[in-house]
Amino acid sequence: MFFKPISAAAAVALAASGMVSAQTSTKCNPLSTNCPADPAFGSERANCDFTQGACSAFQVLAGTTLDYNGNGAAFTIRQQNDAPTIATGRYIFFGRVDIVLQAAPGKGIVTSVVLQSDDLDEIDWEWIGSDNVEAQSNYFSKGDTSTYNRGAFHPVVNPTGSFHTYTIEWTPQIINWMIDGNSVRTLTPEQAKGGAAYPQTPMQIKLGTWVGGGTASAPGTVQWAGGYADFSAAPFVGYYKSISIVDYAGSDGPSFTSVNEYVYGDRSGSSKSIWSN
């Protein structure tokens, strides 16, 4: 049974702050108030080679210190409240993300690639440090964590000891999770409550490692993360080698027109309500 008490994006934020909660969070939720427009990638693609150092497409979040070497950006966990995280300052409105990474090893240690919107739509890749045979895919809609039956597990060889390419391609018609170019899962709007639970609003990309098996973590989180982390075995290091980000700007393929920002036209959270400038 897939059991996870909070979304990946919420867990990373809460781990970084030393808090534990069952609530997701957003700086401004456009479903309840008027929020600033989301800056768009638009026709400008991001191609980051972390073996060469930091990438301007990403912002380093508070409390994060990264090292860069031939393996890429090293996201290191040394103690319980460590949660090194970076996030894009711009958003995609449907699109494709390809990332080459080696997940962090260690019981209770989690590596996450998260696409998340202001109204808490979310699409994830996740790796448990003690599970060296699988990757996990997941999605959330509008911050709904009332059930935890949306996750799936996918075989992959030695994810904490070798690099693989993980892809999310997200269109109005389908979400496709891929490993090394091979599709391992698809989701259509019809499979997500007829589209009502289908992620469909502009998203940032967040990369991070965090402690799921912390002493202050919820029991369900600890169980999902494989148990309590043993910090006598620290440091635990995940490597992000490279990432490619392509914005589809509301369509089912790459945008070739200039788009500066995405605006929520109402409080429905529907893709049809989003307009671009």
Q: Where are the alpha helices (DSSP H) in the chain?
A: 8-17, 219-224
Burial 240-254 (b: 16+ CB within 10 A, else e): bbbbbbbbbbbeeee
| CA atoms lying within 13 Å on the CB side of residue 238 | 32
Choose among 17, 20, 26: nearest CA to 269: 26
Tokens representing 255 are: 């945008």
Q: Known catalytic residue: 122?
A: yes
Which entry of 44, 122, 169, 261 is annotated as an active-site residue? 122
Q: Measure the CA–CA gap between 228 and 268, rounded to whole angstroms.
A: 40
Continuous segment of H or E residues that includes residue 29:
none
Q: Known catalytic residue: 126?
A: yes
Q: What is the DSSP string of 116-138?
A: EETT--EEEEEEETT-TTEEEEE
Parallel, antiparallel or unpaired: strands 182-187 and 72-77:
unpaired
Q: Are 82 and 76 in contact (CB under 8 A)?
A: yes
Parallel, antiparallel or unpaired: strands 236-247 and 95-102:
antiparallel
CA angle 260, 263, 269 (to 5 degrees): 140
> Active-site positions?
122, 126
